[in-house]
Amino acid sequence: MKRNPLWTVSDVARQTGVTVRTLHHYDQIGLLRPRRRTDAGYRLYGADDLQRLHQILLWRELGLGLDDIGALLDKPDHDIATTLREQRAQLVSKVESLNAMIAGVDEALHAHQEERMMTPSKAFKALGDFDPAEFEHEVEQRWGTSEAYAVSAKRTKGYGEAEWIAIRTEAAEIYARAAALMADGHAPDADLARAAAEAHRQHIERWFYACAPAMHAQLAEMYTADPRFAETFESVAEGLAQWFASAVVANTSEARCAG
């Protein structure tokens, strides 16, 4: 009788492009359990496991979180239609925001080519939902006497639409990078997670003010304590605010050890 083939975690990673770390994470949370293990404890995956992994990857491509994917695959009474409708609404919202940003970037490009200034309303189309003046009064009250505030206020005063577009684009790339690491099962104190946190710290220094690791850790407290800051991260991926704040703290600890 012909036995069904089994693949090691390395075989599956090589065939599918999914990292070994991600496969281990899927196993730990119960999303993708291997068919069996060897006497030494090594994972062995069967054809059914690979089919399930294929379904997981399809749902992930649509932007669903791992909890939702688990429910879709394991709970027969789960309302798939409602989950898909909610995900569709989120995707449509993102598309609308991106289209508005694209229109703003196009307008900025045309203005640059014609050597003219954009009107404020058109300039801020390029920023999507981001308004750099939204918390200006509160920021001044909390940090108005600090050197960092003085430096930031002086630098940002000279920024035009091109600079704010660059700031938002760079920040979005960092948040997307962090969300992908979190989704792949990286712990906040993993090397790649700390690297993402460090990129964020350098982003602050590049555009606003000198931000030592200890100051970055203080800022990270607001990412979870203040709902407005948390929403910036949660709109990218559920749970990202806490994960990113922890990554910042881990990066701060690493910097202290290195020092």
pLDDT (tens digit, 0 to 9) for every residue of the chain, 259 residues total? 456 789 999 999 998 888 898 999 999 999 999 988 988 889 999 999 998 998 898 888 777 788 888 888 888 777 777 777 877 777 777 676 666 666 666 655 555 555 444 444 444 444 444 444 444 444 444 544 556 556 676 777 778 777 877 888 888 888 889 988 988 889 999 999 999 999 999 998 888 878 888 888 888 888 888 787 788 888 888 889 999 999 999 999 866 555 4
What DSSP letter does each residue of 204-252 carry, written as one string? HHHHT----HHHHHHHHHHHHHSHHHHHHHHTTSTTHHHHHHHHHHHHH
Q: What is the CA radius of gyration of the chain?
A: 22
The reply to whether CATH 1.10.490.50 applies to domain 130-258 is yes
The reply to whether CATH 1.10.1660.10 applies to domain 7-74 is yes
Q: Where are the alpha helices (DSSP H) in 114-190?
A: 120-123, 136-143, 147-157, 161-183
Domain parsing of the chain, residue ranges = 7-74, 86-126, 130-258
| Reported pTM | 0.52
- The answer to whether 244 and 233 are in contact (CB under 8 A) is yes
The per-residue pLDDT for 132 is: 44
Residue 37 belongs to what H/E stretch? strand 36-37
Judged by DSSP in three states, 45 sits in: strand
Tokens of 128: 């999507």
